[in-house]
Amino acid sequence: SAAYLLGRRGWPRYAVPGVLLAGIAFALGEGRLSFVGLDTSQMFARPVWTTPTFTWHATVGVALPLFIVTMASQNLPGVAAQRASGYETPVSASIAVTGAATTLLAPFGGYAFNLAAITAAICMGREAHEDPARRYTASVSAGVFYVLIGLAGGAVAMLLTAFPPELVKAIAGLALLGTIGGALAAALKDDAHRDAAILTFLVCLSGVSAFGIGAAFWGVVAGGVATVVASWRRRP
């Protein structure tokens, strides 16, 4: 926490990497970095040809649930994150582009392209750039690192296994603090929808899951119901 607060004070954009370095140094000093028993033979990705096959069982049992989960847990919160950051992107065009990309790249493993709710929210925050028109550079940089990490996925997984679990969780949580704070500030600004916003946040935070759909979707449902009820009560 101290490293994060100091980083936010001096170098806000690099606060989270600073916490990562501080955490690694602390874990190393405490002897909690363990590389014993790690398999180094799978550090780098190697292409393996797999011929795709189409079956009704896979379509109904895998593709349809994956579509529902992607729409409810990624695209819907992704649109909300864009709106909260002030971006009025066309929803239909965005879904069409990600759907076309999924169709073309699914045979190569890219079977769930979406608006990436959490990742997109991080890239759209003020930490990415003060100028909203230049925050796209964060997404481009993330894409480059995705390619590099994909090629060395085994090495990255090996490093994460060596780190203490508390360090990994802390870094993931701290990376979202700015995004959560900005989204809450925007959501709670309007008195008429404040209760719905709080209810949405709490349901999402609860981690509740039903029918294989995560809390992000049910949070939106709860907030929508609260908005409808509040509007209905105010009618003369």
For residue 161, count CB atoms less than 10 angstroms from its CB and return exposed for 0-12, middle for 13-18, buried for 19 or more: middle
**CA distances for 76 relative to 82, 119, 221, 235, angstroms:** 10, 14, 11, 29
**Helical H runs in the chain?**
2-10, 15-29, 56-58, 64-70, 76-84, 91-105, 117-123, 136-151, 153-162, 165-175, 177-187, 194-206, 215-233
In angstroms, the CA 151 to CA 160 distance is 16
Say how many C-beta atoms besides its own lie within 10 A of residue 189's C-beta.
10
Residue type, 120: A
Give the start-to-end residue ranges of the domains of the chain.
2-32+53-190, 191-236
Which tens digit of pLDDT belongs to each residue from 21-71? 887 787 777 777 776 666 667 777 777 888 878 888 877 777 877 887 788
Please state, in angstroms and rounded to a whole number, the distance separating the CA atoms of residues 115 and 72: 11
Query: Is the pLDDT at 189 greater than 80, yes or no?
Result: no
Q: What is the mean pLDDT of the chain?
A: 79
The pLDDT, as a whole number, for residue 40 is 67
Alpha carbons 138 and 31: distance in angstroms, whole number? 34
pLDDT bin (cut points 50, 70, 90) of residue 124 is: confident
> Are 153 and 45 contacting, i.e. CB atoms less than 8 angstroms apart?
yes
pLDDT band at 96; cut points 50, 70, 90 = very high
Nearest by Cα to 124 from 116, 132, 112: 132
